[in-house]
């Protein structure tokens, strides 16, 4: 079982809210299949009794996640999400070189029958919109900022696939792995060893979260890249 100290994850805290830098591979809420597995909700409640996760990140996704410490704060932030007053900025490393300058994708999304993935469905899908900006282009990859206007499951991932820019290490939506041997000249792999991808998960990170506190003050909390995402970006920069 993964051991985490909740205090080490905290980026911002006041009497109403906590914003953490969620590690990858940890679910936002308790999973049905595992009674005592680690989840952000379980850790948050151990830290603050009335804590509620105010929104969710996919299990594989790292980054900024807001937690309300009391019911009033939860309602206050929920209303901001409902009225689209919360700004979430994600960073993704995608396959291919792309020049996105405020490119908006507005395509409806519906869940697949098994519920583990989504598809574009113009008849039955729910409206979904994401705006994309290129932050940095490399030789064969691009660092992209993604701003979801709506909050559908896997929205960023499938919208990037529609732009022919699937996220690195995302086989569900066509994203290929990145190997050091592809980036580094004269790369030598040790004999009888299999090369692993640089990133072992979907290369998506919730970089910042902006919302209003209970007193009306606007805050923006940024979540530093975790080690795996940071290493990938540095290697792409170094070998660009």
Distance in angstroms (rounded) separating the CA atoms of residues 179 and 128: 32
Distance linking the first and last C-alpha atoms of the chain: 38
Encoded tokens for 88: 């979430």
Catalytic residue among 5, 58, 101, 121: 58
Residue pair 76/63 in contact (Cβ under 8 Å)? The answer is: no
Residue 89: its pLDDT value, please? Answer: 98
32 has pLDDT over 80: no
| Residue 89: how many other CB atoms lie within 10 Å | 21
Encoded tokens for 120: 């574009």
φ and ψ at 39, to 5 degrees?
-140, 160
Encoded tokens for 52: 């509620």
CA of 120: how far to CAs of 90, 104, 128, 129, 200, in Å? 21, 15, 10, 12, 26
| Ordered DSSP codes for 52-114 | EESS---TT-EEEEEEESSHHHHHHHHHHHHTT--EEEEEEEEES----EEEEEE--EEE-TT
132 has pLDDT over 90: yes
Residue 209: its pLDDT value, please? Answer: 98
Distance in angstroms (rounded) separating the CA atoms of residues 116 and 157: 13
6-238 placed in CATH 3.40.50.150: no
Is residue 50 flagged as an active site residue? no
The C-alpha angle 37, 40, 43, rounded to 5 degrees, equals 80
Encoded tokens for 113: 């029958």
1 has pLDDT over 50: no
Query: What are the boundaries of each domain within the chain?
Result: 6-238
Of 192, 164, 177, 157, the C-alpha closest to 228 is 177
Residue 127: its pLDDT value, please? Answer: 97
Lowest mean pLDDT among 35-39, 140-144, 190-194: 35-39
DSSP classification of residue 203? -
Encoded tokens for 14: 């006041």
User: What does the pLDDT look like over 86-124, one tens digit per residue?
Assistant: 999 999 999 999 999 999 999 999 999 888 899 999 999
Average pLDDT over residues 29-34: 74
């Amino acid at each position: 079982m993964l051991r985490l100290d909740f205090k080490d994850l905290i980026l911002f805290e006041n009497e109403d809210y906590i914003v953490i830098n969620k590690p990858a591979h940890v679910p936002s809420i308790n999973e049905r299949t595992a009674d005592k597995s680690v989840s952000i909700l379980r850790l948050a409640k151990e830290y603050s009794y009335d804590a509620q996760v105010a929104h969710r990140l996919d299990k594989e996704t790292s980054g900024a996640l807001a937690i309300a410490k009391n019911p009033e704060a939860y309602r206050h932030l929920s209303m901001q999400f409902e009225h689209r007053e919360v700004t979430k900025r994600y960073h993704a490393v995608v396959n291919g070189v792309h020049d996105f300058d405020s490119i908006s994708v507005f395509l409806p999304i519906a869940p697949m029958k098994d519920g583990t993935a989504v598809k574009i469905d113009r008849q039955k899908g729910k409206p979904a919109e994401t705006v994309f900006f290129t932050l940095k282009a490399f030789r064969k990859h691009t660092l992209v900022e993604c701003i979801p206007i709506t909050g559908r499951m896997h929205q960023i991932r499938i919208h990037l696939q529609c732009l022919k820019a699937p996220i690195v290490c995302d086989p569900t939506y066509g994203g290929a792995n990145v190997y050091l041997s592809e980036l580094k000249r004269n790369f030598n792999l040790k004999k009888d060893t299999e090369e692993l991808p640089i990133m072992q998960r979907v290369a998506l990170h919730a970089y910042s979260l902006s919302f209003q506190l209970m007193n009306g003050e606007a805050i923006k909390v940024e979540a530093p890249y975790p080690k795996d995402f940071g290493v990938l970006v540095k290697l792409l920069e170094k070998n660009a």
